[in-house]
Amino acid sequence: MRFSVTSAILSLAVASAVYAAPTAPVSPQEKPNLVNLEKRGWVMDQLKPLFTKALRTLECGACVSALSGAKGVAYLNKNWVLSAATSLCKSTKLADADVCEGLIALQGPVVIEAVMQANLLKGDGKFMCAQALGVCPVPTVMSGTLAFPKAKPAAAVAPAHSGKIVDVLHVSDWHVDEHYVAGSEAACTKPLCCRKYADSPATPTRAASTWGDYNCDPPLKLGLDMMKHVPTVANVNFTIMTGDVPPHDVWIQTKETALPQEKLAYDVMAEGIASKVYPTIGNHEAGPVNLFPTKTSGGDISWLYNSMADNWSRWLPNDAINSVKNFGAYT
């Protein structure tokens, strides 16, 4: 669930929606058009102070006004919004160039869609600014009536305690990184360090140790060692696995990177788990991360639900597996 750098960049993506020009939609491949460029320049001149203020002062009101401006412009041209967001992210050095590019390309379209559908002045704006930048107070929970699928049982009785005590293994937030390289830069400027990146310095300022670093996801070696240790300290009766298997390389995570990472992680975890497992999907399982499209929202997440369901079929009954295939969860 770690999120800070990501949300800061995404809020920048939203904020810089405002730099896009009010022109007919153009694809990035189209030749620059002088009239469009002039309009774009004019919009930037008008709105840049507004956004500079929002990002510099980190004030709630300034953030919401900036979002409102962004929303209007986003209706005119989403592609331009994305490229403007990317260049602003790079020029303000909010993140490394590859992180700006990857994160905005993967998450930006959805963020823009959310802003366009939001009722910014009726509370959504404050909510977004609170979540992304922490600059507004988190809105209080509104009262309302929630319909549960089933009525509460009239006289529920807790089952009697058997008196037996069992060991339960809880595996969560695995996030083991197969690309961890001991000796690489542990104090890097990306959301995840201890990897050999194309722009890594030749000599690290702090070298990643063999067993891990607080700036990094755990090396494979640590994950494997930990799993091998489990049977020596516990007689595990059953395991719960509460999601978040892939590493935090959120600016490059797609279906293509996530699936092999899941496979590898399951292989490693199998070293220490002989028991039955009750697994769940976490926010990091999706590729791109955090995005779980529904059947009606567009996008496709069936690749994740189906692959998890196939693997989990060794532990779960058929009705649970069908439910995982449909919406990624079961009861």
Q: Which residues bind ligand NAG (CB under 6 A)?
A: 164, 166, 237, 263, 266-267, 270, 275, 310-311, 313-314
Nearer to ligand NAG, 30 or 267 (CB): 267
Q: Whole-angstrom Cα distance, residue 304 to residue 285? A: 8
The helix, strand and coil proportions of the chain, stated in percent and rounded to the nearest 5, come to 45, 5, 45
**Minimal distance in Å, beta carbon 275 to ligand NAG?**
6
Which alpha helices (H) appear in the chain, and where do they start and end?
Answer: 4-15, 34-57, 60-76, 78-91, 97-117, 124-133, 220-233, 255-269, 302-312, 318-327
Token reading at 182: 């001991």
Nearer to ligand NAG, 267 or 300 (CB): 267
Inter-residue contact 320 to 314 (CB < 8 Å) = no
Give the CA radius of gyration of the chain: 23
**Minimal distance in Å, beta carbon 230 to ligand NAG?**
14
Q: Whole-angstrom Cα distance, residue 45 to residue 30? A: 23
**Minimal distance in Å, beta carbon 231 to ligand NAG?**
12
**Minimal distance in Å, beta carbon 266 to ligand NAG?**
4
98-134: b (≥16 Cβ within 10 Å) or e: ebbbbbbbbbbbbbbeebeebebeeebbbebbbebbb
Residue of 20, 136, 12, 162 lying closest to 79 (CA atoms): 20
Token reading at 68: 């409102």
Nearer to ligand NAG, 38 or 310 (CB): 310
Q: Whole-angstrom Cα distance, residue 118 to residue 67? A: 10
Residue of 198, 194, 199 lying closest to 247 (CA atoms): 194
Nearer to ligand NAG, 31 or 164 (CB): 164
Nearer to ligand NAG, 127 or 315 (CB): 315
Q: Whole-angstrom Cα distance, residue 264 to residue 269? A: 9
Q: Whole-angstrom Cα distance, residue 331 to residue 208? A: 41
Nearer to ligand NAG, 215 or 307 (CB): 307
Nearer to ligand NAG, 154 or 160 (CB): 160
Q: Which residues contact 18 (CB under 8 A, 6 or more apart)?
A: 43, 47, 50, 51, 66, 69, 70, 73
Residue of 210, 165, 162, 160 lying closest to 184 (CA atoms): 210
Nearer to ligand NAG, 98 or 271 (CB): 271
Residue where the block lists tokens 């930990």: 226
Nearer to ligand NAG, 18 or 227 (CB): 227
